[in-house]
Amino acid sequence: MTPHQTLGVVVRLFAIWLAIYAARELVGVYVAGRERDDAYVLAIVATVSILAIVFVVVLWFFPKTIARGLLPQASDTPARPSAPEMWFAVGTSLIGLWLVASAVPGLLRNLAVMYLFRSESADTSGVVSSLVYLLVQSAVGAALIFGVNGVRKFIWWARHAGPD
């Protein structure tokens, strides 16, 4: 695959992730707004939903255009195929990056909640358990980012272990 094709695939994967993430978060915002009897929650959720849909549609139908805008012009020489180990390393690192990137906002939110409500008698046991979960998620993500070789060796060992 050429770098442009690879980036096109990544753009489409990002579009799928964004659609799922936006749907989940917008439903949460709508439910929380309804619980507080917020009069403008429907208008806000509808506006953000329309913007998210437009953004996802553009990402899905024009990944090559986005790739051409991000990468320099490709030469006419065919690209050499990459080794499977290289693809595994890139994929593992991307999964690790995704884990860390999805854990950081939750970590910051939970730390802010703990800081803001430290003097009140609020029950923070749910926040603490969530904080522990997100710290473990961050550690696993960092291990996947920086320890790709070890993960590859472990998977190779697991595939070839056992009776022959």
What is the residue extent of each domain of the chain?
Answer: 1-81, 82-164
Report the distance separating Cα 67 and Cα 4, nearest Å: 5
**Residues belonging to the chain:** 164
Distances (CA, A) of 127 to 138, 141, 146, 161: 16, 21, 28, 40
- DSSP string spanning 19-45? HHHHHHHHHHHHHHHHHTT-TTHHHHH
∠ CA(30), CA(36), CA(41), 5° rounding?
A: 35
Share of the chain above pLDDT 70, in %: 88
The pTM for the full model equals: 0.56
For residue 150, the model assigns a pLDDT of 73
pLDDT of 98 over the 90 cut: no
pLDDT, one tens digit per residue, over 112-148 is 777 766 666 566 677 788 899 999 999 998 888 887 6
pLDDT, one tens digit per residue, over 28-52 is 888 888 888 888 889 989 999 999 9
For residue 58, the model assigns a pLDDT of 94
